[in-house]
Structure 1
Amino acid sequence: MESSTTPIVKQANTSIFISAALIVLLVGSVYISQLIFQEISKSFNINILDARFVFSLSCFFYAISFFIYGPLSDRVATRLLVLFGCVGTIFCLVIASMVDSFQIHLLMMSLTGFFAASVPAALFAYTAKNTPNEKLPQAMGVMISASIVGIIFSRSIVAMMADIWSWQLAFIIYAGFILFACLFIPFGINNSNNNSSNANVSIVNIYLAAAKLLLNTKVVIFLLVGFLLFFVYLGLSSFLTFYLKGAPFYLSSTVLGWLNFAGISAVIGATITGKLSQTVSDKKLLIICLLCVSAAVITIGFSQNLLCIALGIFGLFLFVFGIQPIVISVLNQIVPINSRGAISSIYLLSCLAGGSIGTYMLGIIYQNLNWHGVIFACISLALVNVALAWLGMKLIKK
């Protein structure tokens, strides 16, 4: 028995490793501009606040695309979706690094978000469908951890390469990383359909079934929790770049890249809560983590010491991503198993839509009320989120 199951275990481990590596790179491709707004603004001779649209649009198209790829991941072979996303992302990154027009650059970065979304959408669904319920929080924790590492790795490495060479060369090198990872897809990603029960269901019906999930009040509440969480997290992260590059800090992109590594705490958060959820109630974990997010925002917003800000960033990543396995696991257990691909992708859509809209809306607040206006808005929304999560958990208990 042991010898017969060993190859299966090894194949599963290989699949998880390659899936995680692909998620690191493709999720990261959406975030590569977040620490280099200043460099992009100089290259295209635009206002630095306008440069934020590169990230905002990329993130917006990335988020919206999850509603396209999520239902498809319940019907189309995983390997096909992954290859499609990788090839499209490589092409867009190379073109974005070569054009002289800011409008074309915006288009290419928006399309980068569109193509990149197919990879995590396919692989999150693949993991959700092939994992028993009792191991689901841990498995999703691994995938979420890969997303986190992708965010941290991409922002940091591109910022450092931009300081050493240029952001254009950094983009091309990053596209090369993705191309190299593509070579391993046949060895780790099964070419079968994610869910054979949907094989005879039309694409239209799959999308209709995904839309019907939004009629469930409990589902909507937890989607809003993700939306507000990322509104605060990604919106604050974007304007933290402006704040730390200005007085009194005047940090370079390289220093920002190193500071960004404080976010590696997110991997710890996702791993710990994934395991704790098996022994501690989801409600307690979720409420505690959301309150700690508020505390992290306060620390970042009002500290004048760089070490305290680094600790705030550490805490923000730790608790924002510590929340993710809990919410995704709850959502996956609310819906039928043949909708798990759709709900995982819709949740990621709501999170990233929150981040994209947060970057845009907080930009307006930043222009009018400066940094402290951004911080007060983030604290208020973080506390609203605590109330939403409490309501959602209460409805599930009933």
Structure 2
Amino acid sequence: MNGDTAALPPHRPGSTPAGTTDTSHIVQGTPAFRRTAAALFLAGFSTFGLLYTVQPLLPEFSRHFGVSAANSALALSLSTGLLAVSMLIAGLLSDRIGRRRVMVAALLASSVLSLATAMVDDWSTLLVLRTLLGIALSGVPAVGMTYLAEEMDSRALGLAMGLYIGGNAIGGMSGRLIAGIVADHWGWRWGIGVVSLIAVASTLLLWVQLPPSRHFQSRRSGLRELPARWRSLFADPGLPLLFATAFVLMGVFVTLYNYLGYHLMAPPYGLSQTVVGLIFSVYLVGTFSSAWMGQQANRYGRSRVLGICYGLIALGIALLALPWLGCMAAGIALVTFGFFGGHSVASSWVGSRAGAMRADASALYLFAYYLGSSVAGVLGGVFYTHWDWLGVCGFVGVLTVAGAAVAWRLGRRTQPATGELALSR
């Protein structure tokens, strides 16, 4: 546990000699699988908890700092935007010094920056700290996905990735839920502070639980090599479409959650910060969806399951546009289920198609993922300002139709990559 590499000879997946058993990759159902799944679950939990803890506080920021809805959304969009860009560099750093070291250091730095955010009283300073937090957090998401793709047995990867993304769901729910409820009683500073302290504890558990890498091989790749490597990834018929899928899925999801609080705290609903925070408990369906949809993709094909996820999101948006709270609750649950299911399918598909370049592909996938959060999240504020909640629903509805078209093209154009068999149909 002192470093990121273990004292084992290099091993390439699929290279086990005949008559021997590959025991170097982590197999589902083993103690190593449980430790790894728990550690990466905590990493996803803390990452999304820290990143999205400000989301239910956006209306409070508007009131406290006197800023508009679109301006308030910058507290989240700047973090996700810089996270998207910085992940491209974080991947290179992890290639040199190891996955485990980067994840632990990044999570610790992010926790400290989040604590500092709770102590400021200037809007510009808060945005600077949230920007730095996005940069620091970049060491977790792409590296975590790469770690799983390198260390997991191919038959365990779908479930492991689903559990990791399930940690994202629980962390996103808990960060929003805790911040909203605490802020309603003791103010937004305490809301951010409590989530930050939980992240510090989770960082310690990540450091203790995550096993050393057995298949990591240090390589000194530089920025000048990136364009050539990316060109080879974009030459693949499926990967660019998967990057577009990431942009659309996250753009739709974050935009709806950004402005749902404004809508429900305004007349005629007038809900409290606590009640709005409780809405994020619907993230629990994402915990189930990410793992279950990953397994269904193995059975019925990734493109087919991805199309179903878009259908669920579209139905959810239609229900959210209705004025009744019951329909809106069902709508946000459907959107959440479809989003986490689609993200689980698409992210595992990227790792399978990219082969030896999975670290670069994961970084580009998550670049598009968080770029969608940043760009669509701010644009949604413009639609909310001019056309209120129905404008937001119309905006994400158009994005969803575009995403469904991309999923259809994936099914038409993508051929199975090596080792995928019929998983890409």
Q: Which of residues 378, 383, 386 is equivalent to 1:368?
A: 386
> 1 CA distance for matches of 2:70 and 2:121?
19
Q: Quick check: 1:30 aligned with 2:48?
A: no
> 1 CA distance for matches of 2:160 and 2:224?
28
Residue in 2 that maps onto 1:317? 336
Q: Decide whether the 8 Å contact of 2:35 with 2:211 is kept in 1.
A: no
Q: Which amino acid aligns with 1:223?
A: F
**Residues 1:67 and 1:272: Cα distance change in structure 2 (over 3 Å):** same
State the Cα RMSD in Å. 2.4
Q: How does 1:379-394 map to 2 (within 5 A)?
A: 379-394=397-412
Deviation sequence 1:312-350 (CA, Å, 0-9, x none)? 1111110111112221222222212x2212222321221
Residue in 1 that maps onto 2:132? 111
Q: Decide whether the 8 Å contact of 2:114 with 2:130 is kept in 1.
A: yes
TM-score (norm: length of structure 2):
0.86
Q: Quick check: 1:169 aligned with 2:190?
A: yes
| Sequence identity percentage | 22
Q: Which of residues 341, 345, 357 is equivalent to 1:326?
A: 345
> 1 CA distance for matches of 2:391 and 2:64?
29
Q: Could you tell me how far 1:107 is from its partner in structure 2?
A: 0.5
**Residues 1:182 and 1:51: Cα distance change in structure 2 (over 3 Å):** same
> 1 CA distance for matches of 2:83 and 2:219?
28
Q: How does 1:208-227 map to 2 (within 5 A)?
A: 208=227, 210-212=229-231, 213-227=233-247
Q: Decide whether the 8 Å contact of 1:71 with 1:207 is kept in 2.
A: no
Deviation sequence 1:190-241 (CA, Å, 0-9, x none)? 4447621xx2443347634652323434211111111112211111211111
Residue in 1 that maps onto 2:5? none
Residue in 2 that maps onto 1:289? 309
Q: Quick check: 1:63 aligned with 2:81?
A: no
Residue in 2 that maps onto 1:50? 71
Q: Which amino acid aligns with 1:328?
A: S
Deviation sequence 1:94-124 (CA, Å, 0-9, x none)? 2211122110100001111111221222222
> 2 CA distance for matches of 1:365 and 1:93?
29
Deviation sequence 1:42-99 (CA, Å, 0-9, x none)? 3323334421111111121122222222343333312321222122212211221112
Residue in 1 that maps onto 2:324? 305
Residue in 1 that maps onto 2:298? 278
Residue in 1 that maps onto 2:147? 126
Q: Which amino acid aligns with 2:201?
A: F
Q: Which of residues 363, 371, 376 is equivalent to 1:345?
A: 363
Q: Could you tell me how far 1:390 is from its partner in structure 2?
A: 0.9
Q: Which of residues 194, 200, 215 is equivalent to 1:179?
A: 200
Q: Decide whether the 8 Å contact of 2:58 with 2:69 is kept in 1.
A: yes
Structure 1 unmatched runs, 5+: none
- Aligned residue for 1:274, secondary structure, equals helix
Kindly tell me the number of residue pairs found equivalent between the two proteins. 392
Q: Which amino acid aligns with 1:228?
A: V
Q: Which amino acid aligns with 1:121?
A: A
Q: Which of residues 275, 289, 292 is equivalent to 1:255?
A: 275
> 2 CA distance for matches of 1:123 and 1:252?
36
Q: Quick check: 1:145 aligned with 2:166?
A: yes
**Residues 1:46 and 1:289: Cα distance change in structure 2 (over 3 Å):** closer
Residue in 1 that maps onto 2:157? 136
**Residues 1:214 and 1:69: Cα distance change in structure 2 (over 3 Å):** farther
Q: Decide whether the 8 Å contact of 2:180 with 2:273 is kept in 1.
A: yes
Deviation sequence 1:240-298 (CA, Å, 0-9, x none)? 11111112111111101112112211112112111112221222211121122111111
Q: Decide whether the 8 Å contact of 2:252 with 2:399 is kept in 1.
A: yes
User: Which piece of structure 1 moves more, 96-105 or 116-125?
Assistant: 116-125
Q: Which amino acid aligns with 1:261?
A: S
Q: Which amino acid aligns with 2:333?
A: F
> 2 CA distance for matches of 1:371 and 1:324?
25
**Residues 1:207 and 1:397: Cα distance change in structure 2 (over 3 Å):** closer
Residue in 1 that maps onto 2:37? 16
Structure 2 unmatched runs, 5+: 1-22, 417-425
